[in-house]
Chain A
Amino acid sequence: QVQLQESGPGLVKPSETLSLTCTVSGTSINSYYWSWIRQPPGKGLEWIGYIYYSGSTIYNPSLKSRVTISVETSRKQFSLKVSSVTAADTAIYFCARLLRLGDAFDIWGQGTMVTVSS
């Protein structure tokens, strides 16, 4: 059974860097694309970006200047960093899998809530 599990601090101070990790189990991390998606409280989904297991990335243009996604295949993990956070970055952050570019997100993590507050 393929499972994704997000982990990281639930509270981040304004202007600091938000860091999350997604751990993959039940499948190889190779040959797939891995993505981060977020959802502010009471609002819709926003795609953040994705990474191929080889390390190539594509980001949402609106977040590109502040976002970095990386992968560590040996640990079967991929990570998200969002710099210079503000209250607008408060959201549930989901990690998800795509089989190929253009494909749908077929497996999702349960999500982790991150609050930006001093």
Chain B
Amino acid sequence: GNSVTQMEGPVTLSEEAFLTINCTYTATGYPSLFWYVQYPGEGLQLLLKATKADDKGSNKGFEATYRKETTSFHLEKGSVQVSDSAVYFCALSPSGGSYIPTFGRGTSLIVHP
């Protein structure tokens, strides 16, 4: 079956540090890939997505590139802010069937001033 594996958290950084959260996936065909963010007490918000190999999704300074050869979709940001503290979820939606998304376990990011 499909699966998404994210790096264990929490990730703790100082403000303006570089962020990488690793995500790898297992799926047949060419799934679409997503990053969602969940702030405390809230639902998930789409951060960015990529629907085909080599696509780069970007939003609010965050980027992730769909790497088919390494089945990865790592999230990066050049300079994090305290307001980026949240839980980040990597997810995939398969390219066939009923398109049911599969989510990773989430990675908590804590940014200190």
Tell me, yes or no, whether A binds B.
no
Interface residues of B (CB under 8 A from A): none
